[in-house]
Structure 1
Amino acid sequence: MTQNPFGEGGFDLGAMLEQAQQMQQQLLDAQAQLGSRTVTGSSGGVTVTLTGTGELTNVEFAPGSVPGDEDSLTDLGDLVVAAFRDAKGKADAMASDTLGPLTGGLGGPGGALGGPVV
């Protein structure tokens, strides 16, 4: 008689699927937690704010760091954020197009395994 390589109970596909679903939920929960947190970085009078998932949410210029009035600098910060989001969306789409066939649509940007969603 041949011995079962998966042990006495055999291969439990249901348990494996349940574990995969739990891992997916943990990834989604962690992603949501990161998305709700922010970090800031600054250099030369410019401060940027990112979410924990890397989304640029704000750009501020310290008074006197860049020539211009306060309203113009606020508008410039908004334009930088918009340009970043446009480029990030294009980069995510490019990654999805490139990696999608390799991952079967799983795990890439915004994929079913909880990839970054922008």
Structure 2
Amino acid sequence: MSQNPFDALGGGFDMNALLQQAQQMQEQLQLAQEQLTEQRVSGTVAGGAVTVTVNGVGELIGVDITAGEFDGTDSDDLADLSDMIVAAYRDAKAKAEAIASEAMGPLAGGLEGLGGALGGDGGLEGGSPSGQLGF
């Protein structure tokens, strides 16, 4: 019996080369994800009254509210402010997802055919680069 079980398939399938390529792709994915955590993306609503900043993997970094735009004693104003924060976050998150998809999409696409050989998710938190990276 030969050392490589794929020799029986013919064509000289090189499992070591495949594993080395998969490891390189995983390293590239990890590097891309690290770079995404350093990026900052802003979402803004109401002409800049509320701005939310997230990193490239969708983690909330900050919320900026323009002074004088809201009455802190008025429950309707506070409800509106809450809605605007959510809307600004969704805007920023959508931008972060687009950046992550662009940065990681080609890399992650190459891992899909490995059938979980790299631990199922290529070492990424949350699995897929198309929006499930903890966004």
TM-score, length-scaled by structure 1: 0.56
| Aligned equivalent of 1:61 | 65
CA spacing shift, 1:34–1:46, aligned 2, 3 Å: same
Do the aligned partners of 1:38 and 1:50 also contact (CA within 8 Å) in 2? yes
RMSD over aligned CA atoms reads 3.8
Contact 1:40 1:49 survives alignment (8 Å): yes
1:60 Cα deviation from its structure 2 partner: 1.3
Query: Structure 1 unaligned runs (5+)?
Result: 85-102
- Which amino acid in structure 2 is aligned with residue 52 of structure 1? G
Report if aligned partners of 2:43, 2:52 keep a CA contact under 8 Å in 1. Answer: yes
Secondary structure at 1:64 match in 2: coil
Identity %: 42
More helix by share: 2
Aligned residues: 86
1:12 equivalent to 2:14? Answer yes
Q: Supply the distance in 2 between the matched residues of 1:29 and 1:62 (Cα, whole angstroms).
A: 36
Question: Is residue 124 of structure 2 the alignment partner of residue 107 of structure 1?
Answer: no
Please give the secondary structure, in 1, of the residue aligned with 2:25.
Answer: helix
- CA deviations 1:30-88 (Å, max 9, x no partner) are 0000110101111120100010111111111101122139xxx9xx99xx7xxx9xxxx
Q: Which residue of 1 aligns with 2:111?
A: none
- In structure 1, the partner of 2:50 is 46
Distance in 1, Cα, partners of 2:127 & 2:21 = 15
Instruction: List gaps (5 residues or longer) in structure 2.
Output: 1-7, 90-115
Q: Where in structure 1 do 4 or more consecutive aligned residues deviate above 3 Å?
A: 111-115
